[in-house]
Structure 1
Amino acid sequence: MRSVRARTTLGATAVVAGALVAIGLAVVLLLRSNLAGQTDLQAEVTAREIAAQIAGGTPPARLDLPDADEHPVRVVDAAGRVRAADEDLRSVGGFTQRPAPRGAAPGDEESEGDDDDDDGVPPPSGQVSTDAEFVTGTATVEERRGDYRFAIVRASTPDGETFDVYAGTSLATTRQAVGTVVRAMLVGLPVLLVVVAGVTWLVTRRALRPVEAIRAELEAITSSGDLTRRVPVPGSRDEVAGLAATTNATLAALEESVARQRGFVADASHELRSPIASLRTQLEVAAAHPELLDLDGAVDDVVRLQHLAADLLLLARLDAGDRPSGAAPVELADLVRDETARREAAAGGDGAGNVTFRTNVDASPLVAGPRGRIERVLGNLLDNARRHADTVVLVTLRERGGEAVLTVADDGPGVPAAERERIFERFVRLDDARARDEGGAGLGLAIARDLVKAQGGTLAVGEAPLGGALFEVRLPVRGAPNSRRTENT
């Protein structure tokens, strides 16, 4: 598997190579075009100088011709005869001569390239044509043969005789310059690509060094299981630093979750040990002395174990992210009346009739189900209030800002401000004087808050107007509220 560094280096080198090839082609084409333009210009200037002499009346035999090594020149008349040429110029070829001007003798030759004057009409006597044609051909000077760019300019003598002046400029310099540039690029391109690849490799290695440090530290944390360790955060304040900070935050959350889970397991083991030990003792005594069997006590211990196991299972499901969906909405007003009536009846039947339940329902909002979980929240709060109340428990329900607000207040001792968050921790019981059987395992409020959070709501505790504790539940409303006011005393 290729590393990120290798892929980055390969990609950067490929991009630079493509860009350099494109730029190189553009440079070569532009250079060739410019040199070709200069070559044509030099040939045309030479041809016009000779044509100007002819237009001035200089006979072909007395023309001042340039050195054939630099600019081979040939003057051709209307009949196609060569009337003037440098003595070192042996031959000119590789192209077809232009057509003879109108009115000229038959046998004049034709040249390729753009038309000079319209329909080959010669210039007036004693003048030079304004246009020039260009062809590429060969010339042999002394014994050296080479490629040339020829400019063809037509001129008329004062007597009306027409001549074509062929003046050439060697293409060797142009081709040599282009070839030199191409060779330089072919040599320099690989060198430049090697430099780009090396720099990219080094820069990428340096950029990925913090990532490798993070990976190594995570591997060490995984192998050791020590969640207190953290990955190094570079001081660059870039994306890698953000990744390291987020990783450390994740590790901190994981450490907290694991610590909470371990504490939960330890507390659960401790809570289960006592009823199991009590039940075992009773069974062992009953095995030795059947007449001493406390059947009611054994049943109570089994029931307590059953409730504790159910609570632990519910907490485990909530910790695993259990969020049931598709349940029917719950009408909270009916649920409040049913639960308070049930507990008031139970209080009268078990001798705790000194606690009175009062309800004040201002609305009947619908909240997300399932109903069993909402019942569990309200039931835990009512049971907690009944245990701590002196004479009265007040339950109110109203709707505010799209939320159902349910409060459960009592006139008991209340909750100290410093302990108002701690009471929602698992297996926490503030009243150490209470008997374990009466006080429960300390899971009721923790379960209530977790269930409310799972429904997208909040649960908080404060001070009640009656002097005791006031628990406030806020849940998002579903459906249209049915406002009404009822009060049970």
Structure 2
Amino acid sequence: MTDKKPFAAMPRLFLHFYLFISLVLVGIGWTVERLWQQVHAEQVPAWVLVLAGQISQQLKHQQLAANSHDLVLPVTALPEGSILWSDAELQQLQQGAVIPLFTKDQAFFYAMQQQQLWQLGPLDLTEDSQVPGYWFSLLFLGLLAVAVWLWLWPVARDLQRLKQQLQQGQSPVEAFPVRSFIAPIAHSFQQMRQQIERLLGLQREMTQAVSHELRTPLARLSFALELSSLPETDKELMLKDVKELELLVDEMLDYARLESAQPALDWQQVDLTELLHNLCEKLSPLPGAAIETRLPPVALWWCDAHYLERAVQNLVVNAKRYAKSRVLLSLQLTATDCLLQVDDDGPGIPPAQRAEILKPFVRLDPSRQKGFGGFGLGLAIVCRVLEWHQADLEVQTNSWGGARFVLRFHRSGKPGAL
């Protein structure tokens, strides 16, 4: 039965984030609004109090008429009882104090003069009231940003950890506590990984079993042909077919072994110039075009010499097989990478088919037909070796019109020149 619990991770994550954002918006909005109300209801600007004190002092030392122009603010005489004052405010007025009152955008000052209530103002407060609103908006946005960051940071951290666990081939489930939102997702990845490994294992076992089982009948068939009384021409053709089947079995076993898992590479400092010279000497007796080289005197690089030689050997053998008269093996070290190129003057590879030839058991027609030999596994093995070395393979067309295979090794990571 399928475990549906991991698949509830995304709805759970969405619901938690939705509720979190809703509560944060309500909470922060209510808090900022309360602060706004308190600031505007209870706090009187300091300069307004200073101005009220100055007006009070001026009125104490001078007896001014209501239409006097000695005051900065306009003065209006109000009828008695036009404003309902509290007992404390009325006592302050009788003692000669000036009381400021506010509307949304204006301030008024009230004082008792000659047993009459004076209103001084209005005084415009529009410009002064804009600054608090601006800062309260910034406060709201800042608190919202901090709250969202506090929620997203653990999720982003766990996602990064999940990525690292998957890249390193480790079990992602063990890296997360049960309370983590990423734990169900990691569990799903773990299940998918186990299923893929199980399918790959079955495929490898089947390939190896079939390959091994083919060896015995092929050996019997080859022995029977040797002892048969068939015409020599027919016998030779049949033995050639049997030999080709044996080579195919060997190639399939090699590819299955390389596909099974990344081996423990023997990283060491290798002189690529010496390695390539030795390889050319080993492959020179093979039929096909002669191998030309363009190599620096010394080229030191960190790599696994055995597997790197295997990859270059596959490329050179292919080039000798399809070349008309020239095969060139060149090497160049730059400030950022190492370029190893194999060129031939054969029919070349069309751009539309360059990605296909890197797949197992793929051969091009008519230029890469069976008459040229091979089983379509050589380039797949090259790709696997380059993947272990964190390198790239590019298929191009050279100036001769033939194929050019470029192996690009980067200085970042484990591989690199000294």
TM-score (norm 2): 0.46
User: Which has the greater radius of gyration?
Assistant: 1
Compute the TM-score of the two structures, normalised by the length of structure 1: 0.40
Q: Normalized per residue, which structure has more helix?
A: 2
